[in-house]
């Protein structure tokens, strides 16, 4: 029998969320903390990490912050090691951190920008997944959730290289789901336009007009994404792996 209150709880589990101090990552970290998980957050800015871990502790969660980039192998190893040593495990990995230092035509993008995008958006999730597997999930099982994008499912103007990285992340999700089963489930979310600072250039110039183009009449919020992110790492989704969930307010149909 399904028990909604129990099946969506994360009591006794430990989650590592990259880019968890703002936007979608912050909303996911808060949702997991509310559901009973302990949290490790990897992000670049110490002051934001301090504020975030204090907020998670106020919810009642054990929380630690690790300073570093999700594309830096040393920071990745440190985050995974501290997660296991200080919080007692690593049951959930959320590869949320992303970057997009280039806005414009893909045919004219600088090679340096391409390398940075792939380092953070693709190589980072792979290295984090490898580290989590070696340190904990190979022996204890777990769940990996990758934050892709609707841009990884179809091309769009101005952010083509970012979209390419997310398309590759979608394929990585399916590959790892195949390789790590049955002990580890791996899924991805592909949000459309969400009201975050990261996507500000896409929604701020005409928020009302952009919202009106969505069948549900608005652009997304970080909490919209966090709700599905909670479901996918919970026991309620225990028979789901290798899937990519699009959430875009119905824009795909329009």
| Residues labelled catalytic | 162
Instruction: Identify which of 191, 199, 197 has the alpha carbon closest to the alpha carbon of residue 148.
Output: 191
Helical ranges in the chain per DSSP H: 4-7, 23-34, 46-59, 73-87, 111-118, 124-132, 138-140, 160-180, 200-203, 207-212, 222-233
**Vertex 117: Cα angle to 206 and 66 (nearest 5):** 100
Cα separation values, 244 from 135, 147, 149, 187, Å:
26, 9, 10, 6
Which residues face 38 on adjacent strands? Answer: 14
**Distance from chain centroid for Cα 185:** 15
As a whole number of angstroms, the distance between CA 158 and CA 104 comes to: 4
Q: Of all helices (H) and strands (E), which one includes residue 15?
A: strand 14-18
Kindly give the pairing relationship between strand 38-43 and strand 14-18.
parallel
Contact 204, 161 (CB under 8 A): no
Q: How many CB atoms lie within 10 A of CB 131?
A: 23
Residue 62 CA to residue 66 CA, distance in Å, equals: 14
């Amino acid at each position: 029998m399904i028990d909604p209150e129990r099946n969506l709880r994360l009591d006794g589990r430990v989650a590592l969320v990259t880019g968890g101090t703002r936007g979608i990552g912050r909303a996911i970290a808060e949702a997991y903390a509310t559901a009973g998980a302990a949290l490790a957050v990897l992000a670049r800015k110490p002051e934001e990490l301090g504020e975030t871990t204090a907020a998670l502790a106020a919810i009642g969660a054990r929380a630690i912050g690790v300073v570093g980039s999700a594309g830096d192998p040393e920071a990745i190893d440190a985050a995974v090691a501290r997660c296991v040593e200080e919080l007692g495990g690593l049951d959930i990995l959320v590869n949320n951190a992303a970057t997009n230092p280039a806005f414009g035509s893909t045919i004219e993008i600088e090679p340096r920008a391409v390398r940075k995008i792939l380092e953070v958006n693709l190589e980072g999730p792979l290295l984090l997944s490898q580290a989590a597997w070696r340190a904990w999930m190979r022996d204890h099982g777990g769940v990996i959730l990758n934050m892709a994008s609707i841009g990884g499912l179809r091309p769009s103007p101005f952010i083509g290289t970012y979209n390419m990285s997310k398309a590759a992340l979608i394929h990585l999700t399916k590959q790892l789901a195949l390789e790590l089963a049955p002990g580890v489930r791996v899924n991805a979310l592909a949000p459309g336009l969400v009201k975050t600072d990261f996507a500000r250039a896409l929604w701020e110039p005409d928020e009302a007009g952009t919202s009106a183009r969505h069948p549900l009449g608005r652009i997304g919020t970080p909490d919209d994404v966090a709700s599905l992110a909670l479901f996918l790492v919970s026991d309620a989704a225990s028979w789901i792996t290798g899937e990519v969930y699009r959430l875009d307010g119905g824009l795909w149909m329009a």
